[in-house]
Structure 1
Amino acid sequence: MRIVIAGGHGQIALRAERLLSARGDEVAGVIRRPEQAGDLLAAGAEPVVCDLESASVAEVARHLEGADAAVFAAGAGPGSGAARKDSVDHRACVLFADAAEAAGVRRFVVVSSMGADREPAEGTDPVFAAYLRAKAAADADVRSRAGLDWTILRPGGLTDRPGSGRVALAPSTGHGSVPRDDVAAVLVALLDEPAAVGRTLELIGGNSPVDEAVSALAG
């Protein structure tokens, strides 16, 4: 398979790129800054320099031509304000989905966030609330598209602990945390699971091995 990942220098994306490359897939990561290219090459991924905040649909679609799947794992990141939550976490996702449809790439996976299915509680930090609203808007846009075989993955609190390889994956899991290693492993497994299409799934640490958690979606 050829997989193109938006946000290719992100912590989850780099982990997924290593996994995909190790299993023999061809993987490209969309990055904003050329100096990030070396990290992608080290992960076994082809770096593609393209700023999703300013590129056109046609420009992004050219990078998606010939791909079997597209993954949106981009985010404005820590330290960014509410405006960039909207321009990256929402609008760049919409752009990437438009480009996937234009390029004829049906399989489309979004790394979203737990909590994006409801209005942020009163008193939530304004920037974090903007992040959740941006993720919610992006998710709603992707779910409306008949031209994509989409899956939306909503991890709980992300940690840098080593992955355990054991997770809970379901439409609703309850609150919890999950290592980025395990998010990447689930992301890779979801790409190959037809039963994941059209599903919005929460992910936290749990008791099921990743492969079993993903294959159970067909049950």
Structure 2
Amino acid sequence: MTQIAIVGGHGQVAQALIPRLVAAGHQPVALIRNDSQVSTVEKLGATARRLDIEATDAEGFAAAFEGCDAVVFAAGGGPDGNIERKRTVDLEGSLKSIEAAQSVGIARFVQISAIGVDLTLPEDTEPVWRAYVEAKRDADAALRATSLDWTILRPGGLTDDEPTGLVTVADSASRGEIPRADVAAVVAEVLDTGAGVRRQWDVVGGQTPVAEAVANA
């Protein structure tokens, strides 16, 4: 059994990921902010551990990762328009996760980012969106600079649609939408198979079954 720490363990992608990991024989460890989230992730099959991403330092992250074999960074500052949280969650949360993984000897690290964050933004870009894109861009750059067995997944526009099981996974893909559950399926596939080490992929809806898309990418 592989224990997999999920930073942002109560998020929508994380909640879709947990049952997939359980079905594959892994033990998800959902890192959550408060006690009200415990029952949700435990019902899905995860072990719950408390982690306040913004208030905890890298040493605290390392303690939360105890006994784990891999880390999934699936956290986000949310759609509330708070520019500061794009930095403290999307960027600094990732940086602390990376530092903690390195300090405790966890090599496998999968990060959920966003498509197109390396592109130059127009001058009139809305400030919250700019902050989000820049946070994801810088978090990805920091992860790529490590010697971890990293995989960066950059999904297109996320939807709450039912999963199709059909995706496009590529070094570069045209923008498109994808159900969160299909993103979770891709995360589960790279964790289960070991595919995608030191690769960065765009992930959008497509015509190829997840396992095949990941294997071909």
Shared fold by TM > 0.5?
yes
Mapped contact 1:177–1:204 kept (Cα < 8 A): yes
Mapped contact 2:91–2:138 kept (Cα < 8 A): yes
Structure 1 CA distance, aligned partners of 2:137 and 2:82?
Answer: 17
Q: Which residue of 2 aligns with 1:145?
A: 146
RMSD: 1.1
Aligned counterparts, 1:36-51, within 5 A: 36-51=37-52
Shift of 1:193: 3.6
TM normalised by structure 2 equals: 0.96
Q: Which residue of 2 aligns with 1:10?
A: 11
Deviates more, 1:12-21 or 1:186-195: 186-195
Structure 2 CA distance, aligned partners of 1:100 and 1:80?
Answer: 30
Aligned counterparts, 1:70-219, within 5 A: 70-146=71-147, 148-217=148-217
Say how many residue pairs are matched.
Answer: 216
Structure 1 CA distance, aligned partners of 2:72 and 2:200?
Answer: 14
Mapped contact 1:160–1:179 kept (Cα < 8 A): yes
Q: Secondary structure at the match of 1:168?
A: strand
Shift of 1:34: 1.3
Q: Secondary structure at the match of 1:135?
A: helix
Structure 2 CA distance, aligned partners of 1:45 and 1:125?
Answer: 37
Mapped contact 1:70–1:105 kept (Cα < 8 A): yes
Shift of 1:128: 0.9
Q: Secondary structure at the match of 2:146?
A: coil
Mapped contact 2:54–2:93 kept (Cα < 8 A): yes
Structure 1 gap ranges (5+): none
In percent, how many aligned pairs have the same letter? 43
TM normalised by structure 1 equals: 0.95
Shift of 1:25: 1.0
Mapped contact 1:2–1:66 kept (Cα < 8 A): yes
Shift of 1:119: 2.6
Structure 1 CA distance, aligned partners of 2:170 and 2:212?
Answer: 12
For 1:38, the aligned partner's letter is S
Structure 2 CA distance, aligned partners of 1:67 and 1:123?
Answer: 43
Shift of 1:66: 2.1
Q: Secondary structure at the match of 1:30?
A: strand
Structure 2 gap ranges (5+): none
Mapped contact 2:22–2:28 kept (Cα < 8 A): yes
Shift of 1:22: 2.3
Structure 1 CA distance, aligned partners of 2:26 and 2:195?
Answer: 21
Structure 1 CA distance, aligned partners of 2:25 and 2:172?
Answer: 32
For 1:96, the aligned partner's letter is S
